[in-house]
Structure 1
Amino acid sequence: MFQVVVLCITHCPYSVFLPTGVVLIIARRRGLPIARCLLGVWHRPWECTVGEQSVRARISKRVVDGLAPHPSGAARVCAWDAEIKGFGVKVYPTGRKVYVVKYDRRGKDQTFTIGEHGSPWTAEAARTRAREVLNAVAGGGDPSADKQRERTALTIGEMIEKWLEEGPMARPTKREWSWVTDRSRLRRHVAPLLGRMAAYEVTRRDVEKMQARIAAGATAGDVKTGPRGRAIAKGGPLVASNTVVCLSAMFGWAVEQGLLKANPCLGVKKVKPAKRQRMLSRDETARLLDTLDEMVAVRTLRDSHAEVLRLLLLTGARKTEILGLMWREVDLERRCILLPEARSKTGARDPIRLAVPAIEILQRQNRGSDYVFPRADGMGYVVGLQKVWERVRKHAGLEDVRIHDLRHNAASIAVNQGASLYLTGKMLGHRNAMTTQRYAHVADDPVQQVAENVARAIVETRSSADKL
């Protein structure tokens, strides 16, 4: 009978129905908190309770996927593991699921957040981490306190390096080139402005100020990247807006890891750069092609850089798609380039079509490397295209033309030649038809020409009548 009563007190939320004297006696013998026993709410956190509607089972992907938010609308632990005491899954009203470990530390319940269900925290990965946490507790450690100390001590600069090191494992589908871009934005724009701040102290207002300063050019400059390397960090509204997006991704990961409680980038209104499209005239296009030939002839421009720029001009492809082009992605027989999802900004994209001049460029290249345009030392593909372009456009008198404008130019020519916006979008690899709508005004030009022709015919008719 004694064991039955103890079981009721330690496991059942209905122990309030036991006689008060019995509760006090057993509580003293068991060393349990008397007040909580009298209230009838004492239970071990890893046991299922009726009030929380938890389930007790071996936590697996199937179990976690089947969990639903608590009917009360509050964030609750909806499942406890049947094998590892204290290991559970907390479900938020939004459906977000987080792995947690509860343990006792000197008579007080502590909760350690492992991370959000998904990548990298699968059920098995979280189970392994839970064992590590509980082993640390058994050895006298306090993982929650350790994590809190790390959270409060971590600066933005340190978090940037932590994100760049661990982020690729947490975001395995993110393209390698995107990480290169993020690294540049975080180190050249965020670190100089927020790097010394404690991560937990950063507010939305701090992010807004950072964005404004980047837009104003506060972080622009010539940056040394190595013993012989330099890079130009540019500011401006577009860079500022993209940097906030990049920083928000880092903060989102930090929240998942329990390093921060909230993402300070949420709610920040990003600056909108003025939309700008620059198209080349026939004369400018000819001047650019002549400049490439001349600079290669006098050896002020490497042939590989010139060929990349020619291919960008002819195909309308993105810079990264051509720079990192590999021979296995080229199908000359079918006259196209087939990029894997990881190499395209929009994931799976339509083939990049190759006209005869583009095919001739590819046929001229040496196949001694996996890359179509390799570096001179054979280590990867050619780099430094931005610096090269700045010299080329200056020599050609096209100083307001960006590399990306070559892509806009190809699209504009296609539309001017009568191609529909749908086909133009397919050529450019747009997944969203709305993206191609920016060229709709170009499609209207032939209509304007028709109107001009009609008006001219009417005027000429009147002139002829006058002559008669």
Structure 2
Amino acid sequence: MAVSSITIRAVQALKPGETIWDADHREAVRGFGVRRQRDQATYVLKYRVFGRQRFVTIGPHGAPWTPERARKEAKRLLGLVANGKDPADEKAKARLQAADTLSVIADQYLRNAKERLKPRTYSEVERYLLVSWKPLHPVSVFQITRRHISARIADIASVHGAVSAARARTALSSMFNWAIREGLDIPANPVLGTNRPAQPGSRERVLTEMELSAIWQACDGDDYGRIVRLLLLTAQRRDEVGSMQWPELDTSWGLWTLPPSRTKNHREHLLPLVPAALALLPLRRDGRDFLFGDGPRRSGDPHRGFSGWSKSKAALDARIAEAMGEPLPHWTVHDLRRSASTVMADRLGVLPHIVEAILNHVSGHRAGVAGVYNRARYAVEMRDALERWAEHLTALPAQSRGGDGIRRDRLGPSAAHGAPSLL
């Protein structure tokens, strides 16, 4: 062991097993040294904290560590000692933090989220965290800054749009909030304070009678065509119909019971099915609980509901454009639910609380214990409203391209009973 000024020449002259401690010059740092073990020279710091002698490794000689840079780091570490901190503990903590990358924490969060989120919600959160935020996966969550996040949000918005960017931001923010509650010493959620992408307002599109008729007429007899017509006739949500299961149905009484696990408000929903809706149900296939779709789920469930929404919607739009001579203005399947409820209330005189019962909205007198009795009490009124809506819908004039551009026909009385010819 030698005491001398630590210079590049002195470091290069070190023999295996030798150590030099910094001294004999104005910038010398007490406890700063360099030692060679075999072929590698390493800068170290010796210090005392809480009455105990400790060593911490600064780094190996070579980029980025030079004698001057290592000496400055030694001064910084001694500053921690002066403030009652142990640099060895701080370094161990830094190693642990470096291991907590966004990829690692996202996987942990998703394992937790899978147990409490609905399958579709979980699938979207998983996609945003594993795909949208993939460029930041190697970065420690302790080092991710608002600038990292803002730049990535801008990239997502430019490629996938503001809605996707906003949802990706929400998924990441939820993950950071969970991580902080799990005990990670992140000073604050870095998503907070970033700009939220501007999003379009809540959709208010209500389809016209011509548009409803065109959509109804263009539905083929495949699963998607049946689903779209059921969406119109029942005014329920896309995934509720697409994942409809035989155990939920009582076809002899014309009732569909949605369990709490499949409804947005987590309340059981009892919905009457009118003859036009019952006629759209496919034949029961042995071994399958789901009415529509087929194929394995990622979770291992041997069957699943309908998938391929985007491709089927595009094919339906193409058939509508062919029949009409021009495409319909942009519409979504959720517009069918809004249109059904609007027509029932505005055109057919269905009372608001009956429309709410059909939609499975809970508010006012439908909340609490009274809501349990009201569901049963409204069953007759709900069936009457849905039958009037089915009759109105299936009696709309057919829209197709003819000699003058539009041919107007009545669908006929059999349509009210969901005759297979409509498919």
Instruction: Report the TM-score, using the length of structure 1 for normalisation.
Output: 0.50
Equivalent positions of 1:61-76 (< 5 A) are none
Q: Which moved more, 1:320-329 or 1:197-206?
A: 197-206
> C-alpha separation between the residues in 2 aligned to 1:348 and 1:146?
49
Structure 1 residue 239 corresponds to structure 2 residue 160: no
The 1:379/1:258 distance shift into structure 2, 3 A limit, reads same
Q: Pairwise mapping of residues 43-82 of structure 1 onto structure 2 (< 5 A)?
A: none
Equivalent of 1:344 in 235, 239, 263? 263
Aligned-pair CA distance for 1:366: 3.6
The structural deviation recorded for 1:375 is: 0.9
Cα gap change, 1:278 to 1:365, in 2 (>3 Å): farther
| Alignment deviations for residues 113-161 of structure 1 (CA, whole Å, 9 cap, x no partner) | xxxxxxxxxxxxxxxxxxxxxxxxxxxxx9x987763433333233323
- The 5 A counterparts of 1:119-268 are 149-168=95-114, 172-192=115-135, 194-215=136-157, 217-218=158-159, 235-261=160-186, 262-268=188-194
1:390·1:399 contact (CA, 8 Å) conserved in 2? no
Q: What secondary structure does 2:355 align onto?
A: helix
Higher Cα Rg, which structure:
2
Does the residue aligned with 1:338 lie in a helix, a strand or coil?
strand
Structure 1 equivalent of residue 353 of structure 2: 422
One of 321, 332, 336 as aligned partner of 2:240: 321
Distance change >3 Å, CA 242–CA 150, structure 1 → 2: same
Aligned to 2:133, the other structure's residue is in SS state helix
Aligned to 1:451: none
Aligned positions of 1:407-418 closer than 5 A? 407-416=337-346, 417-418=348-349
Question: Mind listing any 5+ residue stretches in structure 2 that lack a counterpart?
Answer: 1-49, 52-83, 297-301, 321-326, 365-423
Mapped partners of 2:280, 2:91: distance in 1? 61
Q: Judging changes above 3 Å, is the alpha-carbon distance between structure 1 residues 214 and 408 closer, same or farther for their aligned structure 2 residues?
A: farther
Matches of 1:344 and 1:177, distance apart in 2: 12
Is 1:381 the counterpart of 2:305 in the alignment? yes
- What SS does the corresponding residue of 1:351 show, helix, strand or coil? strand
Partner of 1:25: none
User: Following superposition of structure 1 onto structure 2, how do residues 262-411 of structure 1 map, counting pairs within 5 Å?
Assistant: 262-268=188-194, 270=196, 271-293=198-220, 296=221, 303-362=222-281, 364-366=283-285, 368-375=287-294, 379-396=303-320, 397-398=327-328, 400-411=330-341
**Distance in 2 between the 1:160 and 1:372 partners?**
34
Change (3 A) 1:326 1:155: same
When structure 1 is superposed on structure 2, of 157-166 and 180-189 the one drifting more is: 157-166
The verdict on how the C-alpha distance between 1:429 and 1:202 changes in structure 2, with shifts beyond 3 A counting, is farther
Give the SS at the match of 2:142: helix
Gaps of 5+ in 1: 1-32, 35-107, 111-141, 219-234, 297-302, 434-468
Within 1, Cα distance between the matches of 2:362 and 2:134? 34
In structure 2, the CA distance between the partners of 1:398 and 1:147, relative to structure 1 (3 Å rule), is farther
| SS of match in other structure, 1:337 | strand
CA distance in 2, matches of 1:308, 1:159: 38
Structure-2 change in CA distance of 1:425 and 1:160 (3 Å): same
Q: 1:180 to 1:364 in 2, by over 3 A?
A: same
User: Equivalents in 1 of 2:268, 2:200: separation in Å?
Assistant: 27
Matched residue type, 1:392:
L
Between the two proteins, the alignment pairs up a number of residues equal to 267
| Distance change (3 Å), C-alpha of 1:197 and 1:289 | same
Contact 1:251 1:260 in 2 (8 A): no
**Identity score, percent:** 26
Whole-angstrom distance in 2 between the partners of 1:150 and 1:311: 54
Q: Structure 1 residues 197, 398: closer, same or farther in 2, change over 3 A?
A: farther
Q: Distance in 2 between matches of 1:355 and 1:267?
A: 51
Structure 1 letter corresponding to 2:121:
S
User: How far off its partner does 1:400 sit?
Assistant: 0.8
Taking the aligned partners of 1:151 and 1:281, their CA distance within structure 2 comes to 57
Contact 2:345 2:355 in 1 (8 A): yes
Contact (CA 8 Å) 2:99, 2:140: kept in 1 or not? yes
Contact kept, 8 Å, 2:263 with 2:269, in 1: the verdict is no
Q: Show the counterpart of 2:18.
A: none
Equivalent residue runs for 1:107-126 within 5 Å: none
What root-mean-square deviation, in Å, do the aligned CA atoms of Structure 1 and Structure 2 show?
Answer: 3.1
SS in 2 for 1:202: coil
Give, in whole Å, the separation in 1 of the partners of 2:200 and 2:273.
33
The structure with higher relative contact order (CA 8 Å, sep 6+) is 2
What SS does structure 2 have at the residue aligned with 1:373?
Answer: coil
Find the aligned partners of 1:373 and 1:429 in 2 and give their Cα distance.
22
1:329 Cα deviation after fit? 1.7
- Checking the alignment, whether the CA contact within 8 Å between 2:232 and 2:340 is kept in structure 1 is yes
Q: Are the counterparts in 2 of residues 393 and 399 from structure 1 also a CA contact under 8 Å?
A: no
